[in-house]
Amino acid sequence: MTRPPMPSEPAELLRQLAQENLPSPPEDSSAARRERLVRGMREAIDRSAETAEKRRRLRRIVAAVSVAACLSVSVLGGMLLRDRATAPDTVAGLDRVSGTVVLTQDGRGNVVGGAERGLHDGDAVQTAAGARARLQTIKASVDVSESTELRVSRPSAAEERITLRRGRVDVSVEKSIDTQRAVVVETPDAEVVVRGTVFDVRVEPREGATNTHVHVTRGSVWVLSQGVQVALLSAGQSWSSAGEVRSQAPTASAPPPAAASVAAAERAPAVAPPTPAVSASPRPAKPAKAPVRKPGTLAEENRLFSAGVEARNRGDSARAAELFAELLATYPQSTLREVAQVERFRALKSAGQGSRASTEARRYLAEHPEGAARTEARDLALESQK
């Protein structure tokens, strides 16, 4: 006989549970549930879209930073390349070295050999006793003698400058080179300014100071002291900061250009055939028609110019203007013409004669459109039109 199952037995419990009816959820409960599900899905979609947008923004930021970094590297590289390109370029070459020659670059001195070296802005060259070298710039060839010290500078549009501290240099300036630059040799006592000539400059010690000596072999040079012209030297002339201009008598083998022309004119009748036609002909005087300074005028030109400078320095601007005008009128072909014109319009301005100063400034610009004082002259010429 089988006993009935007890209500507490697991099998009986499962059977009773299976027979029970499960209540259906209410309609409103199902709608609320759907709303919750839809809202959750929408929020999940929004979160997904927001996350995607954040990722896109992050990618854009990273890309922008990368581009900026690349640009920075490019700009920095370009600046470095530009700085290298515009770094002090070679301003002169050093060759023909013999003996002990020291080249100082960036504060470090090294003995150089015979191979050519490039010099940069601020480089210094020093030759020992018995040593020699040559500098070559765009426009000048400079032979450096023994016991000499000099420094080179970056050339500007107006000049090439060599600073001679002691010793001697022999300079040859090629006038035919197509550049308007002047060549300037600066010493402790003076500046020698040239455009095409052959000359030498030496600096010697003298009682705790220095003495600058200039000698011209060919052409002419201006000598300035403290910005004021103190001499104009022609071939065969010398100047010393301790003395006056000295002229050397030209030799028969190498007469100065002007003297050579005059000597040729004077010798012409002697070498011409002794026929009446030639002896009566004035042709031997033809060389004198060329714009060549007559013998002996240089001293007078310098005297007038110096007198004008002295008048200017003592404050007599009117007298200075008169002296410069006399120089210009008496010697229109003088090599002092340009600087005398500048001094004249400055003196007229200082004397309160603005209208005449403007007229002289315009005349200067007409003759020397690329002159060293063109900016000053242009400003002065425009003042009369204000």
pLDDT at 44: 67
Give the CATH number for residue 357: 1.25.40.10
Helix and strand element counts for the chain (H, E) = 9, 17
Beta bridge partners of 148: none
Chosen domain end from 218, 247, 276: 247
Integer Cα distance of 349 and 124 in angstroms: 42
Is residue 359 in a domain? yes
Is residue 23 in a domain? no
Burial code (b: 16+ CB inside 10 Å, e: under 16) for 229-239 equals bbbbbbbbbbb
Question: Which segments of the chain have a pLDDT < 70?
Answer: 1-11, 13-14, 16-31, 33-34, 37-38, 41-42, 44-46, 48-49, 52, 62-88, 176-180, 195, 244-296, 384-386
Element (H, E) at 142: strand 140-144
My answer on whether 100 and 236 are in the same domain is yes
- CA-nearest of 314, 371, 375, 308 to 344 is 308
Is residue 290 in a domain? no
Give the CATH number for residue 139: 2.60.120.1440
My answer on whether 230 and 100 are in the same domain is yes
Integer Cα distance of 268 and 138 in angstroms: 41
Is residue 273 in a domain? no
Is residue 260 in a domain? no
CB atoms within 10 A of CB 79: 10
Alpha carbons within 13 angstroms on the beta-carbon side of residue 325 total: 13
Chosen domain end from 212, 247, 282: 247
My answer on whether 235 and 172 are in the same domain is yes
Integer Cα distance of 231 and 249 in angstroms: 18
Chosen domain end from 215, 247, 279: 247
My answer on whether 242 and 99 are in the same domain is yes
Q: Is 272 helix (H, G, I), strand (E, B) or coil?
A: coil
pLDDT at 268: 34
My answer on whether 148 and 241 are in the same domain is yes
Is residue 316 in a domain? yes
- DSSP for residue 314: T
- Tell me the torsion sign for CA atoms 282, 287, 290, 294: negative
pTM comes to 0.46
- CA-nearest of 129, 122, 92, 126 to 112 is 126
My answer on whether 222 and 305 are in the same domain is no
Integer Cα distance of 104 and 121 in angstroms: 11
Element (H, E) at 148: none
My answer on whether 182 and 301 are in the same domain is no
Is residue 364 in a domain? yes
pLDDT at 93: 93
pLDDT at 74: 52
My answer on whether 217 and 304 are in the same domain is no
My answer on whether 135 and 210 are in the same domain is yes
pLDDT at 114: 76
Number of domains in the chain: 2
pLDDT at 257: 35
Is residue 366 in a domain? yes
Residue 122: exposed, middle, or buried by beta-carbon count in 10 A (0-12, 13-18, 19+)?
middle
CB atoms within 10 A of CB 154: 12
The residue range of the domain holding 108 is 92-247
My answer on whether 308 and 243 are in the same domain is no
My answer on whether 122 and 231 are in the same domain is yes
My answer on whether 240 and 307 are in the same domain is no
